[in-house]
Structure 1
Amino acid sequence: MEKKVKRLSWLLMVVVLMAAVTACGGGSSNTASGDAEVSGSAGGSKSFKVALLTPGPVNDNGWNANAYNGLLKIKDELKATVQYSEKVAASDMNEFIRGYADDGFNVIIGHGFEFGDVMLEVAKEYPDTWFLVTSSTVSQSPNVASISINNKEQGYLMGTVAALMSSSGTVASIGGSDIPPITNSVKGFKQGAEAAVPGIKVLSSMLGTNDDITKAKETAISFIEQGADVVMTNANAAGSGGIEAAKQSGVLAIGSNQDQNPSAPDTVVTSVIQDYPQAIAVTVKRIMDGELKPEAQLLGVKDGAVYLSPYHSFDSKIPQEKKEKIEAAVQALKDGTIVVNNE
């Protein structure tokens, strides 16, 4: 009886939401209960269905967009039917996950470790559905696996580039929510910067949010006023505030998660990318082929899951000596000569 009530609740929410989208012309998403937005399914084979849940907006040009791009790869390359829910609050996770499971989705992806506990619990009731959690180490037989990309190595490379590009001897890193994936990247940034340029000053702060663009911008401006001439912000949607502050102040920025140079071509030197789109698509392909095991996967530089974006217009401006130092750091992470330890 309880499952039937929840099922009806899920269906009612989707029906109301889709009606609202239609009333608005279908061109923009509308907010469902718990500030979670739901899209309609998009193309592909109807025999295999994949759902994605993200904690923030999929157009953030960062963390959430990374997962969404992975979903598009699944749709385009694996020909699966896909659907996503964005801005899913913790209080709504259970209902959304169960809704997709009841609708017969073969794979449900929770983008972020915060989905882990709910996935583990719900998965027990749906043994024929696969549950994937990103940025996590959870696993549970027979149907829960996780994908994690080495945030420490990502931070190390961001810090390396920032330090080598600094003229003032001061760089800054700003993290969003105080969660392991982000705190690890901020700590890795410090280690990478200090290894590249001994004695460099590293300013850092955690915002406590991934959504407050104004707070990120104000924090970046404060660091710039303290002498930082290169800024890195790893804070999902809020990260754009750090880049905007750098742009307005005439200093440099390092992008995170996706290539963020297009948002500020004269400001963002490079970005250290976490290739979640590829990692997610490959993992779903393994499920389709019956090859995935219920285990945790950790991917890093050596796996091609963490890498530098192009330097774009900065390519001709960066001295070859500095490029070689950056490449040396990449190679050292690949072969294990450098092990980032920021616990």
Structure 2
Amino acid sequence: MKKSLIIPAALGAVALTFAGCATPPPVATGSTPATSSATTSDFKACMVSDLGGFDDKSFNQTSHDGLVKAGTELGIQTAQVQSKAEADYAQNIKSMVDAKCNVIITVGFLLGDATQAAAKQYPDVKFAIVDYAYEKPESNLKGLVFNTGEPSFLAGYAAASLSKTGKVGTFGGAKIPSVTAFMTGFAQGVAKYNKDKGKDIKVLGWDEAKKDGSFIPGQNPFQDVAGGKQVANNLVSQGADVLLPVAGSAGEGALQVAQASGGKVGSMWVDTDGCTSQAKYCAVIPTSVGKAMDVAVYQAIKDAKDGKFSNEPFVGTLANAGVFLAPFHDWDSKVSADTKSELDKIKADIVAGTIKIA
């Protein structure tokens, strides 16, 4: 099966607004669904997490926010189930089918095969998946993907401008497209800064030529905070003073390293605005690379309820605000007016297609 993370099309007509990260309600684990009760509709929207769970302060939680919003604003029934192991994915999706869900949202690249298999087996159920798209999707299967390379390019440029050591770093939870897209954009943003400023800021943790870099080892890397901390420490020991962890919950390890550095190291966050989802670390977060997964999930559910669901993938871009660079918050005074102006120009050039992220 040929896979594609980013479909080369922008859905510019989709106007998106951002919702804050809500605290998710109690959720089930294993394969037992948890269901909401206060509803006015027979329509039922459901969600299956990957191993990170709905409290990962990252893409699972943000996606779940979209389900919560749909339940509240659309007056529909909702159910959700958390996965504890990759072996749970197919069974958890089946549990949602058995729970009579009209639309099932799966969260994460790793659920791609299980979601496609279920869509083929249950053609009367609508499916959407976060961070995965298919070359030829089933008519009842919609990919929700995000061109994270675009805001990561901005983050790389900003990181290069902030570095005092001349070295910045990035690492991932696993070598999958939904992770490496961030790392590629970050490195290209640093390269843009070097070209424009005549500098030589080094990127540790990602080799753009080889398309390979630093990843957390082990079977559950996205939950391994200690592993994330170890990789972050390795990068800092080599001189990196601004980090971009792309590792779900495990990225907190980089925040811990930054917090312990006494102001010498900053660590960005991904998927959400870290100053919202990881508020206790806000002082060490220069900015974050965000994805409006909650909005995309909400819209997919609403379209399914309204009979407007299609298998055309949603692609979040800077142009439609499906991806974004978060505010600088506590670091605002450290980012020069010139850099802010340059970032505005770069964003406009990316939207216009003048700058392309490979």
**Alignment TM-score > 0.5, same fold:** yes
2:309 corresponds in structure 1 to 292
Q: Which residue of 1 aligns with 2:335?
A: 318
Of residues 232, 251, 257 in structure 1, which corresponds to 2:271?
Answer: 257
8 Å contact kept, 1:333–1:339: yes
CA–CA separation in structure 1 for the residues paired with 2:241 and 2:170: 11
2:182 matched to 1:170?
Answer: no
1:305 Cα deviation from its structure 2 partner = 0.7
How far is 1:58 from its partner?
1.3
- Alignment correspondent of 2:58: 62
Match of 2:76 in 1: 80
How much does 1:284 deviate? 1.7
Q: Identity of paired residues, percent?
A: 29
Residue matched to 2:97: 101
Who is 1:197 aligned against? Answer: 194
Equivalent position of 2:321 in the other structure: 304
Task: Please provide the CA RMSD for this pair.
Answer: 1.9
Residue pair 1:51, 1:108 contacting (<8 A) in 2 also: yes
Deviations 1:127-178 (CA, angstroms, capped at 9, x unpaired): 2210111111125343111111112223222212211111211100111122
Provide Cα deviations, 1:7-45, integer angstroms capped at 9, x if missing partner.
xxxxxxxxxxxxxxxxxxxx976753xxx6753435333
1:43 maps to: 38
**Does 2:91 correspond to 1:112?**
no
Is 1:336 the counterpart of 2:334? The answer is no
CA distance in 1, matches of 2:282, 2:62: 20
Q: Which residue of 2 aligns with 1:6?
A: none
**Counterparts of 1:157 and 1:72, CA distance in 2:** 30
Report what 2:252 is aligned to.
240
Task: State the number of aligned residues.
Answer: 312
SS in 1 for 2:333: coil
1:206 aligns with 2:220: no
- 5+ residue gaps, structure 2, are 1-24, 206-213
Counterpart AA for 1:200: I
Higher relative contact order (CA 8 A, sep 6+): 2
TM-score, with structure 2 as normaliser: 0.82
Assess if the C-alpha contact under 8 Å between 2:291 and 2:316 holds in 1. no
Q: How does 1:134-153 map to 2 (within 5 A)?
A: 134-138=130-134, 140-153=137-150
2: CA distance, partners of 1:148 / 1:278:
12
**CA 1:293–1:29 in structure 2 vs 1: closer, same or farther (change >3 Å)?**
closer
Give 1:195 shift: 0.8
User: What amino acid sits opposite 2:272 in the alignment?
Assistant: Q
Task: Give the match for residue 157 of structure 2.
Answer: 160
Structure 1-normalised TM-score? 0.85
Residue 128 (str. 1) matches residue 135 (str. 2): no
Alignment partners' CA distance in 2, 1:61 and 1:117:
25
